[in-house]
Structure 1
Amino acid sequence: MALKILHISDIHFKHYKNFECLDLDKDIQREIEHDLSGLKSEYGTIDVILIGGDIAFSGKLEEYAQADQWIKRICEITGCKEENVLMVPGNHDVDRSKFNPILKNLHQSFKTLRSRRDIDYQISEFIRDPESASILLSPFHNYRAFAQKYGSIPEETNLLYWEKDFNVDNCVLRIRGVNSALISNETDEEHTSKLILGSHQSNIVRDNGVVYLVLCHHPPQWLYDMDDTVRDFNARAKILLYGHKHSFSADTFNNSLVLSAGAMQPSRNESDWEPRYNIIDLQIDNLNDPVQLAVKLYERKW
């Protein structure tokens, strides 16, 4: 049985308070609703909705409240169960009002690290200590409260990533959502002030009959541990879904599909402004080792 996935990213919900007339993105939201309604007879029910980060614009509760209303409408239109809406945080899901001198210094310390060994050690030190973990994760408080409604947050014993299994043609598709925005702040830059992921998130343990899909907001080139991340993901995951770039691309590498989603609601200041989303039809083509997937990708663009 095929698994149908609605893949969106960078939805950037803003809250205009008493000036909703200024929200031009409502038009995009309504058009996607109409588009999905028209496609339902052709594609059928959507089984999973994957959101690749940047749900809010500035990590505020009011922004998530608006996103919540829209996602519920999309679930009604597509027939997707709300518990099958899965997401990861992006840099816009960081609430920067939570930044204090301690957290700023902490980020600065992390951004000096270059080797995967040092990154892993530092992450481990902070996550194992409840007080330190609370400081590190404090900018995600509003995001986590929102994501918890849909069941896609890490557990108390694993604060970094989540996993959820789906049955596809007598095989298990295991979706792993990772947090690439762990040390994201206003200094983020692709070349001079990158981010980190760490082995705890990228190391995938092989399991018989399990195929991995990884959902991550930032493409590897935004990470200081890029080489290690690419090696880990491409060795064990069949599908890699990224966001952040606001441009679409689909490539294969080492028999894996690497998909950059494009943005559902990009900034209108961008010269190549192009709202878009994707539908992925996934089947298991070969159960032998290595397992082979049959993937149909339907690009929907403005």
Structure 2
Amino acid sequence: MTAVFVHLSDIHFGQEKVVGQRVVNEDARKQLIEDAATVVFGLPNRRVAGIIVTGDIAFAGKRYEYEAAGKWLDELALRVGCGAADIQMVPGNHDIDRDRIKGLTAMMLDGIYEQGEARLDSFLEEETARDVLYLRFAEYRRFADAYQCPLDCAGQSSAERRVELAEGRAIRFVRLNSALICTQGRDEYGKLLLGARQRVMTAADGEELVVLAHHPLNWYADSADATRFLRGRARVFISGHEHRAAVDVQKVEGGCDLMMLAAGATTPDKIDGAYTYAYNVIEFDWDEAEDALAVTLHPRAWNDEMKRFEADDLRLNGRDRRTVLGAPYFRKGSKPPKPEVTGGLAGIEPAHVEIILPQEQDVTVNGQADETEYQNLYLRFFRDLAEGDRLRILVELDAVPGEIAGGFNHETEGRLFRNVVRGNRFNALREKIETALARREQQSRDQ
């Protein structure tokens, strides 16, 4: 089973207000949607399993930037054949609201830069300190949470998305926050930190890890140890930030490889000989002959002479599009049966991205598991509705106990949302959300 993903990085919604390229950037983004739809339709699956965004969705971490990004990502998802809830993301340095870096937040970040990982760990141990440290991610968190991609505010990685490629053979996505200590004027090369809580990745028999981060490894002060974990535990590392697209395969040892995939920028701050609009279409599949992970890369780049996207063969530098990576964790799993071949498109049906939620978040819709319908409604509720609208809906559904009405936060809202669904009131919840969204659209038209 082949899993196809559109990979974006550095979309920078809001940047055009600074560099004056609004019309040009909007045209390139529109062309990207058309190009991605064409490329995907030309593949056997004719649709994708999801969209990957490796950071810098926004330019200044502001809500209006994410609102614009959400509309564009919805359109892209529709055209390439996945749901908006199939989008996963990690934050970049531009997803931080730097206006919030002041007072105690600034002092904490300065302390981490001066004292290193030990100071970071001390802050992550305390709930109040964690809240302050993550304040500058407020709008990113609101946006990403709606896509079931929450930041782990204890400084750990997230690894709840799994894709089965064959029976007993799967990839698991690991999301890292490489912008954890980014601050005003000090996002220095070689000085960022992942921290031990993120570096220590756990692999499982039959699964190979695909790690997503915004910054390439050489930006971290703890890059040496992070590299060791990647070489021993992961099969693919996908990053952005530098706006230069590249791919490299490292031979770790016999039967073990690591692919390093650096994205170009979906919306760079300039177009010249070195930088241009770029994105990737990536296929993951199980190579039965080698019992290995196969990665097929379709890099796309902007031809500024023709004002369109084209295949970026220069990036491959003579390498085949399909690379078979030595996959030791595949071989540790039980041997999968040979796939049945019945003709037509057998064996290449679109893969499904399984989102494994904590047990307390498992829900059913009207008594039956319906993951897609639930995720799409969750997305609309948390991304598209204002806090006042969300609270009003929960109150109208008698979901808000009086003792917490004055102490609302995202975690509380999420728990109450799930309680409504568990109480077999999914249809009532959906009707109220649709009514609120329609009212908001009408108000926008009237302004």
Distance in 1 of aligned mates of 2:49 and 2:81: 8
Query: Which one has a larger percent helix, Structure 1 or Structure 2?
Result: 2
1:160-199, aligned counterparts within 5 Å?
160-163=156-159, 164-170=161-167, 171-191=169-189, 194-199=191-196
Distance in 2 of aligned mates of 1:183 and 1:250: 27
| Structure 1 SS opposite 2:269 | coil
**How far is 1:21 from its partner?**
8.5
Match of 1:222 in 2: 219
**How far is 1:41 from its partner?**
2.3
Higher relative contact order (CA 8 A, sep 6+): 1
| Structure 2 SS opposite 1:24 | helix
Q: Would you say the 8 A contact 1:15–1:62 is kept in 2?
A: no
State whether structure 2 residue 131 is matched by structure 1 residue 134. Answer: yes
Distance in 1 of aligned mates of 2:128 and 2:272: 40
Change (3 A) 1:90 1:271: same
Q: Would you say the 8 A contact 1:53–1:243 is kept in 2?
A: yes
Change (3 A) 1:60 1:23: farther
Residue 27 of structure 2 aligns to which amino acid in structure 1?
A: D
| Structure 2 SS opposite 1:112 | helix
Distance in 1 of aligned mates of 2:108 and 2:120: 11
Residue of structure 2 aligned with 1:241, choices 238, 241, 248: 238
Match of 1:78 in 2: 80
**How far is 1:234 from its partner?**
1.7
Match of 1:68 in 2: 70
Distance in 2 of aligned mates of 1:60 and 1:274: 25
Match of 2:95 in 1: 93
Change (3 A) 1:124 1:174: same
Distance in 2 of aligned mates of 1:126 and 1:202: 17
State whether structure 2 residue 294 is matched by structure 1 residue 294. Answer: yes
- List per-residue Cα deviations over 1:210-247 (Å, max 9, x = no partner): 11000000011111111111111121100100100100
Residue 93 of structure 1 aligns to which amino acid in structure 2?
A: D
**How far is 1:159 from its partner?**
4.9
**How far is 1:76 from its partner?**
0.4
Residue 158 of structure 2 aligns to which amino acid in structure 1?
A: W
1:250-269, aligned counterparts within 5 Å?
250-253=247-250, 254=252, 255-268=257-270
Distance in 2 of aligned mates of 1:146 and 1:107: 23
Q: Which runs of 5+ in 1 are unaligned?
A: none
- List per-residue Cα deviations over 1:43-102 (Å, max 9, x = no partner): 210102110000000000000000000000011001112222100000000001111121
Residue 95 of structure 2 aligns to which amino acid in structure 1?
A: D
Query: TM-score, normalised to structure 2's length?
Result: 0.62
Residue 160 of structure 1 aligns to which amino acid in structure 2?
A: Q
**How far is 1:207 from its partner?**
1.1
**How far is 1:107 from its partner?**
1.1
Q: Which has the greater radius of gyration?
A: 2
1:35-50, aligned counterparts within 5 Å?
35-43=35-43, 44-50=46-52
State whether structure 2 residue 149 is matched by structure 1 residue 146. Answer: no
Match of 1:59 in 2: 61
**How far is 1:125 from its partner?**
2.3
Q: Would you say the 8 A contact 1:15–1:63 is kept in 2?
A: no
Residue 28 of structure 2 aligns to which amino acid in structure 1?
A: I
Q: Would you say the 8 A contact 2:174–2:211 is kept in 1?
A: yes
Distance in 1 of aligned mates of 2:199 and 2:16: 37
| Structure 1 SS opposite 2:134 | helix
Query: TM-score, normalised to structure 1's length?
Result: 0.90
| Structure 1 SS opposite 2:297 | strand
State whether structure 2 residue 10 is matched by structure 1 residue 10. Answer: yes
Distance in 2 of aligned mates of 1:274 and 1:149: 30
Change (3 A) 1:199 1:270: farther
Match of 2:25 in 1: 25
Provide the identity percentage: 29
Residue 157 of structure 2 aligns to which amino acid in structure 1?
A: Y
Change (3 A) 1:5 1:134: same
**How far is 1:123 from its partner?**
3.2
Q: Would you say the 8 A contact 1:153–1:161 is kept in 2?
A: no
Change (3 A) 1:110 1:21: closer
